């Protein structure tokens, strides 16, 4: 009888490598840890022979069977959970990812920053708007100079009269 790669048993019912089926969603990375808590069992059976690991692990009182035999690394995916299937609310942490009083808006698998009214724009509200760039509100050839204080939305406008 022919069995599929990474499966064993007369009906291909036994998993030999649980990462083979790509159990992690949303670009999560599968990290194989073995089916037994005792590393010597995992090493002696071979890193991905779960059938052997489960048999030998069950024979030892000091070992526990691990189910599942993998973990999913969800870092940077915008998701969390055993298989990276639950949306990670990036806006729940304080301070959130948005800068300069931008408002974090959670989206499925990510977030966006609403920069309206902050004097900034950009993905993280990190690019200063130049309010004086488009038009000069000064009369008689006066000019403006814009300065912002660090970590504040305080705008200091200096008027130069000629």
Report pLDDT digits (tens) over 12-52.
Answer: 766 666 888 899 999 999 998 999 999 999 999 987 788 89
Instruction: Please choose, from the candidates 125, 31, 37, 122, the residue with its C-alpha nearest in 3D space to the C-alpha of residue 82.
Output: 31
What does the angle CA 44 – CA 45 – CA 49 come to, to the nearest 5 degrees? 155
Question: CATH fold of 7-86, please?
Answer: Laminin (2.10.25)
Domain ranges of the chain: 7-86, 89-129, 131-162
Encode pLDDT of 74-101 as tens digits: 999 999 999 999 999 999 988 889 999 9
What would the CATH number be for the domain defined by 89-129?
Answer: 2.10.25.10
18-50: buried (b, 16+ CB within 10 Å) or exposed (e) per residue?
bbbeeebbbebebebbbbbebeebbeebeebbb
Contact 30, 17 (CB under 8 A): no
The token pair that represents 131 in the structure block? 């309010």
Strand ranges (DSSP E) for 22-133? 29-32, 70-73, 79-80, 86-87, 103-107, 110-114, 120-121, 127-128
Which are the contacts of 136, defined by CB distance < 8 A and separation ≥ 6? 142, 143, 144
How high is the pLDDT of residue 157? Answer: 52
Task: Tell me if domain 7-86 and domain 89-129 are identical in fold.
Answer: yes
pTM exceeding 0.95: no
């Amino acid at each position: 009888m022919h069995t599929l790669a990474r499966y064993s048993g007369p009906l291909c019912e036994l998993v030999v490598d649980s990462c083979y089926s790509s159990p992690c969603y949303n670009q999560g990375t599968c990290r194989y840890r073995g089916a037994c808590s005792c590393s010597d069992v995992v090493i002696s059976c071979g890193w991905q022979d779960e059938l052997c690991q489960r048999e030998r692990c069950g024979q030892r009182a000091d070992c526990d069977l691990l189910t599942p035999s993998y973990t999913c690394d969800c870092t940077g995916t915008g998701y969390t959970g055993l298989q990276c299937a639950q949306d990670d609310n990036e806006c729940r942490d304080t301070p959130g990812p948005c800068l300069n009083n931008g408002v974090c808006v959670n989206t499925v698998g990510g977030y966006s920053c609403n920069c309206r009214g902050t004097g900034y724009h950009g993905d993280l509200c990190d690019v200063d708007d130049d309010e004086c760039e488009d038009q000069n509100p000064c009369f008689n050839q006066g000019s403006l100079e814009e300065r912002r204080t660090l970590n504040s939305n305080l705008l200091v406008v200096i008027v130069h009269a000629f």
